[in-house]
Amino acid sequence: MKMELGLSVAKAMLKKAVEEARRLGKAFSIAIVDDRGWLVALHRMDGAPPPTAEIARDKAWTAASFRMPTAEVGSRYGDPKQPGFGLTPHDWNDRLTTLPGGIPVEVNGSVIGAVGVAGGTPEEDLRICRAALEGLSLKP
């Protein structure tokens, strides 16, 4: 049966992500969405600028909807030689973003949701994303 990304899973992922962020010594916003791109949980750490919350949510939404990391959406659909070129951030609820920092959550070959992170450099955001994925195994 396909695993569901419910609130308990999301909390475990957020816990891991926040721990990693504290190790980095920076404040991030972290959003977890389910396989439909619907927000399950979002935490904005103390000191993270308010807009990062919406940006993190947009990244998670994009990664879940396209079933691929947000950075790949850019390289795939942002290339004039590729079909779909011309996607703009205004497509789909203003949520579409090609900023790096959103990755799908894949379990047993199927995408059950996505995590989006904002607040640091692209590398730092992705590092927090990967830390969140570690939380999957901690699921109660």
Site for other proteins in 53-82 (CB under 8 A): 53
Instruction: Give the span between the Cα atoms of 98 and 126, in whole angstroms.
Output: 13
Looking at 38-46, 64-72, 104-112, 115-123, which segment touches other proteins (CB under 8 A)?
Answer: 38-46
The CA distances from residue 119 to 64, 96, 140, in Å, are 20, 18, 28
Measured from the Cβ of residue 15, the count of other Cβ atoms closer than 10 Å reads: 16
Contact between 132 and other proteins by CB under 8 A: the answer reads: no
Residues recorded for the chain:
140
Contact between 7 and other proteins by CB under 8 A: the answer reads: yes
Contact between 39 and other proteins by CB under 8 A: the answer reads: yes
Q: Whose structure tokens read 């901690």? A: 138
Among 1, 25, 50, 81, contact with other proteins (rule: CB under 8 A): 50
DSSP one-letter code for 90:
T
Contact between 3 and other proteins by CB under 8 A: the answer reads: no
Contact between 25 and other proteins by CB under 8 A: the answer reads: no
The torsion angles phi and psi of 56, rounded to 5 degrees, stand at -60, -40
Measured from the Cβ of residue 50, the count of other Cβ atoms closer than 10 Å reads: 8
Q: Whose structure tokens read 């795939």? A: 76
Please identify, using beta-carbon distances, which residue of 29 and 69 lies nearer to other proteins: 29
Looking at 45-53, 94-102, 109-117, 119-127, which segment touches other proteins (CB under 8 A)?
Answer: 45-53
Instruction: Give the span between the Cα atoms of 123 and 109, in whole angstroms.
Output: 25
What's the min distance (Å) between Cβ of 17 and other proteins?
12
Residues that bind other proteins (CB under 8 A): 4, 6-8, 10-11, 18, 36, 38-46, 50, 53
